[in-house]
Amino acid sequence: MSDFQLTRTLDENAAEKALRTDVRGGLTGSPKKLPPKWFYDALGSELFEDITRLPEYYPTRAEREILLERAREIATESGARTLVELGSGSSEKTRHLIEAMPALETYIPVDVSESALRGAADTLLAEHPGLKVHALVADFTRPLRLPDSPGPRLVVFLGGTIGNLLPPERAAFLASVRAMLSPGDALLMGTDLVKDEAVLVAAYDDAQGVTAEFNKNVLAVIDRELGADFHTAEFTHVAVWNKEHEWIEMRLRARSEAVVKIRALDMVVPFRAGEEILTEISAKFRQEGVRKELASAGLELTRWWTDSEGRFALSLSVAEDPVG
């Protein structure tokens, strides 16, 4: 792959160190919590792909509808010669954009998984032999230094992943994105929208129980990687709508009193019957709220597209000129 480069900004032990830190901090806190990024080992990634095909889970279909319908418009508006994707994974959805961007020269996928980056690059370079791919093994929640590439650049952050961040984390993330952008660059961001509570809860608590299995997989990851003795059958998947904050909360609730040992951390974690671990928030948005959060980071919302049912939105924003 002569048009493929890969740069690592994470050392080989970064994931293990981060897991240890997150588990120690999250399970000794009150309330207990774990970051959602630990869902995604090989099995978790497969389960999430299954979730995206469930009848209750609309976000993936809604976002794809917008991309298919608006890709050429996005390409024209951005004029991008470089496409940067944060949390690229398999790069499947991004292909719709790449196919619509005749001026595109360079694609910079950013992901913590080197194998996912290499697999996506193989596929893309076979489909687009003139494209240059410079992959970054990196954590997009930390400030990034992008490789040199031709402008304008379009940074894309799809899937509604912005909703997994708490408001202060979103502010820090958007500020870090703004710092990447030069005049003429833009951000394309996916946001799931506020809607009927029953629709939202069903999307995170499907009838087949796939989301429950996905949620419990975080415990299996800790068992395997840190020598813990969680038993997933002893925890119940819970999805609730937090009306005050307008986000879904996914939790794992202990069915009965339990004591969990985590050998690698020399930890013992007690659980009361009914005690919960918060494993994910998924914030839902309104257009004006998105506009305000972007503006606080120095980004001006210029375009707003929704799917035909108004369930999901893609927004295009540009770097505002500095005052003075």
Tokens of 314: 């893609």
pLDDT at 62 over 50: yes
Does 186 reside within a domain?
yes
Say if residue 184 is in the same domain as residue 209. Answer: no
9: in domain: no
Q: Is 231 helix (H, G, I), strand (E, B) or coil?
A: coil
**Of residues 207 and 323, which shows the higher confidence score?**
207
Residue 39, in any domain of the structure: no
166 and 142 within one domain: yes
Over residues 226-275, the pLDDT tens digits come to: 999 999 999 999 999 999 999 999 999 999 999 999 999 999 999 999 99
Examine the domain organization and report whether 172 and 314 are in the same domain: yes
Rounded percentage of the chain residues whose pLDDT exceeds 90: 79
Give CA 165 to chain center in angstroms: 9
Phi-psi region of 258 (alpha: psi -120 to 50; beta: other; left: phi over 0): beta
Least Cα distance to 172 among 147, 148, 146, 140 occurs for 140
Residue 28: per-residue pLDDT: 96
**In this structure, is residue 315 part of a structural domain?**
yes
* pLDDT tops 50 at residue 151: yes
Q: Give Cα separations from 168 to 145, 172, 296 (angstroms).
A: 22, 6, 12
At residue 324, the pLDDT reads: 39
Q: Is there a domain that residue 15 lies in? A: no
- On whether both 241 and 181 belong to a single domain, the answer is no
Is there a single domain that holds both residue 63 and residue 90? yes
The token pair that represents 8 in the structure block: 């690592």
Percentage above 70 pLDDT, the chain:
98
135 token code pair: 């992959």
Whole-angstrom distance, CA of residue 155 vs CA of residue 230: 39
Model pTM score: 0.93
**Among positive and negative, which fits the CA dihedral 271, 38, 225, 234?**
positive
DSSP 8-class letter at 147? P
Is the peptide bond preceding residue 152 cis, with omega within 30 degrees of 0? yes
- Tell me if residue 215 falls in helix, strand or coil: helix
DSSP class of 32: E
Can you give the pLDDT at residue 108? 95
Instruction: Domain count for the chain, please give it.
Output: 2
Contact by Cβ (8 Å): 316, 186? yes
Whether residue 89 is found in the same domain as residue 183? yes
Task: Name the band, by pLDDT with cuts 50, 70 and 90, for residue 218.
Answer: very high
Band (1; pLDDT cuts 50, 70, 90) = very low
Helices 14-28 and 210-226: crossing angle, nearest 10°?
110
CA distances for 119 relative to 42, 111, 114, 124, angstroms: 14, 12, 9, 9
Which of the four pLDDT bands, split at 50, 70 and 90, describes residue 114?
A: confident
Report pLDDT digits (tens) over 155-169: 999 999 999 999 999
Q: Please identify which residue in the block is written with the tokens 């410079």.
A: 134
pLDDT at residue 152 in the model: 95
The pair of three-digit structure tokens given for residue 127, joined into one six-digit string? 């489909």
Cα 134 from Cα 78, distance rounded (Å): 20
Are 153 and 248 found together in one domain? Answer: no
pLDDT higher than 70, residue 281 = yes
CATH number, domain of 107, equals 3.40.50.150
Q: Are residues 182 and 300 in the same domain?
A: yes
Residues 70 and 185 grouped into a single domain: yes
**For residue 37, is it within any domain?**
no
Q: Same domain, yes or no, for 70 and 180?
A: yes
Range of the domain at 106: 57-193+286-319
**Which residues, at least 6 apart from 253, have a Cβ–Cβ distance to it below 8 Å?**
235, 236, 237, 238, 274, 275, 276
Least confident among 134-138, 200-204, 310-314: 134-138
Q: Per the domain annotation, does 2 fall within a domain?
A: no
Residues 168 and 315 in one domain: yes
pLDDT tier for residue 89 given thresholds of 50, 70 and 90: confident
Write phi, then psi, for 252 (nearest 5 degrees).
-120, 125
The arithmetic mean of pLDDT across residues 66-81, rounded, is 96
Q: 306 - beta bridge partners?
A: 313
Alpha helices in 79-185 (DSSP H): 94-99, 114-127, 167-180
Q: What pLDDT digit, counting tens, does each position of 116-146 carry?
A: 889 889 889 888 888 999 999 888 888 888 9
Question: Quick check: is 38 in a domain?
Answer: no
228 and 188, same structural domain?
A: no
